[in-house]
Amino acid sequence: MPLQDLTPQLRTRLSRMERMVGWFVFLATALLLFGFGYYIYHTAERQGWFKIKADFHTFVQSSAGLNVGDPVVMMGFPVGKITDIHAMPPGDAHNVAIKFEITEPYFRYIRYLQTGGSVVKVNAASFLGRQLEVTRGAQGYAICVTQPILVMTLEDARQRATEAPGHWQLSQDVLDENTNIVFFAYNYLAEIFDATNAAKLATCHFESNSVYAYDNTEKDQRSIAASWHPRTHRYENFTPDDAAAWLKAAESPAVTDQLQAMVTQVQNALPGILALTNKLAAVLDNANTTLANAALATSNLNKTIVSVQPLVTNFADISAQLREPGGPVLWALGPNGNGQIQGALTNLNSLLTHTDTNLNTLVFSVGETLDHIADITSNLNVQVQSNPNLLYGISKMVVDSDTLVQGLKRHWLLRSAFKKENAEMKKADADAKAAAAKK
């Protein structure tokens, strides 16, 4: 039906319906566009499209188990993915080159150090697959930075260090003529050009009379600007031909290679295992023989025990007798042993009684004898006290007797009988005269 044939009421209702449909289509389209945009944003955020990515490359012996798009992990977290795998040209020292990217902020954990820096580990991830793992570097130089590196002359570097002392830092290691590091990267230019370091600065060797430095107050770029080069000891800005930093790889053999090595080792060990089984069989045979001998020995032992049983019974009887009062004496001396011992003890007691009586008599006799001696000495003492010249007379008689004997020794008739005594007397007289002369 043509629109002009409709009544005004129907035309009014139809126009309202058209407007409602138009608004519905508009809202549905807006919601669809919003949902699609949110999905794209969420996907981009999940994939890290808004994050800074640092490109790295490494060299491995084999690409077995590695594929483009596989995740790269660090400390157990997925931090990037593999972007390219290709073989190196013929004659190159390396076999396979692998490129991968690390998203922000994990590329800041990757640092260079002569010993202990970050490396790429090629680990087994499944039975036939492998995975790249980048280790975290705790010290050293950050391999990738987002601040551009400026190359300036020594005069320009000195001037900038004077104008902004806390802004400019070295982006290189400064070496002397003997390639010893004098100033390390990240040192402030103001400290290097200070008067206290003039002697050190004079020994430094600057390539082309220039200094590599960066401004730490400059805002980071949204991409990697430079990377550390270990051979030149400095950061260098990325170029289109060199847009990936290098990392050393620590590659472990693939699972198939490990299984092959294990199978080879088992094959090499089989002869020894077979020889060992033969030896075990011989040992078991010897063990069976030993067990048979042990069974025979136990049988003989049973017979021995049966024959020894009467001896054990007799020993038990003897021990029972010995445990009775007076048992050892009765067993050693016989039934009359106790009577004999009792008689001996009686005789010994009588002997001791007589000995005691005789000892008392002897002591009494010795006492009487001592009393008699005391009486004699008492009488002698009384005689001496009553006659004081008695001792003098006795002493004079002894001296006169000695003088008489000495005279007889010198007499010509009796001299021959006392030759030896005369010689000793002469020697004694000579010694006495010599001693008197010395005095």
Per-residue DSSP letters for 47-112? HTTTS-EEEEEEEES--TT--TT-EEEETTEEEEEEEEEEEPPTT-S-SEEEEEEEETTGGGG-EE
Contacts of 103 (CB under 8 A, 6+ apart): 48, 51, 52, 53, 54, 79, 80
Residue 209 confidence (pLDDT):
86
253-277: pLDDT as tens digits: 665 666 777 777 877 887 878 788 8
Asked, for residue 42, whether it belongs to a domain, the answer is yes
Asked, for residue 248, whether it belongs to a domain, the answer is no
- pLDDT of 223 higher than 70: yes
- pLDDT of 331 higher than 60: no
**Cα-to-chain-centroid distance, residue 52:** 46
Helix (H, G, I), strand (E, B) or coil at 243: coil
Asked, for residue 18, whether it belongs to a domain, the answer is yes
Asked, for residue 38, whether it belongs to a domain, the answer is yes
Higher pLDDT, 53 or 414: 53
Dist. CA 418–CA 407, nearest whole Å: 11
- pLDDT of 321 higher than 90: no
26-53: pLDDT as tens digits: 999 999 999 999 888 888 777 767 788 8
Dist. CA 118–CA 60, nearest whole Å: 16
pLDDT tier for residue 335 given thresholds of 50, 70 and 90: low
Higher pLDDT, 214 or 431: 214
When divided into structural domains, the chain yields a total of 2
CB 321 within 8 A of CB 331: yes
Contacts of 337 (CB under 8 A, 6+ apart): 329, 330
Asked, for residue 296, whether it belongs to a domain, the answer is no
Tell me the residue range of the domain where 393 lies.
387-438
Cα dihedral value 404, 409, 413, 417, nearest 10: 130
Asked, for residue 204, whether it belongs to a domain, the answer is no
Radius of gyration of the chain (CA): 64
Choose among 134, 129, 125, 60: nearest CA to 103.
134
Which stretches within 324-388 are classed as H helix? 327-333, 337-386
Strands 130-134 and 150-153: unpaired
Residue 357 confidence (pLDDT):
74
Residue 81 confidence (pLDDT):
92
**Beta carbons within 10 angstroms of residue 254's beta carbon:** 20
Query: pLDDT above 90 covers what percent of the chain?
Result: 22
pLDDT tier for residue 250 given thresholds of 50, 70 and 90: confident
CB 185 within 8 A of CB 173: yes
Choose among 236, 228, 176, 242: nearest CA to 207.
176
Residue 6 confidence (pLDDT):
59
Structure tokens of 399?
């001296």
Contacts of 45 (CB under 8 A, 6+ apart): none
Choose among 179, 176, 180: nearest CA to 201.
176
Asked, for residue 393, whether it belongs to a domain, the answer is yes
Choose among 100, 207, 246: nearest CA to 238.
246
Residue 270 confidence (pLDDT):
78
Choose among 226, 244, 114, 102: nearest CA to 171.
226
**Cα-to-chain-centroid distance, residue 224:** 46
Asked, for residue 346, whether it belongs to a domain, the answer is no
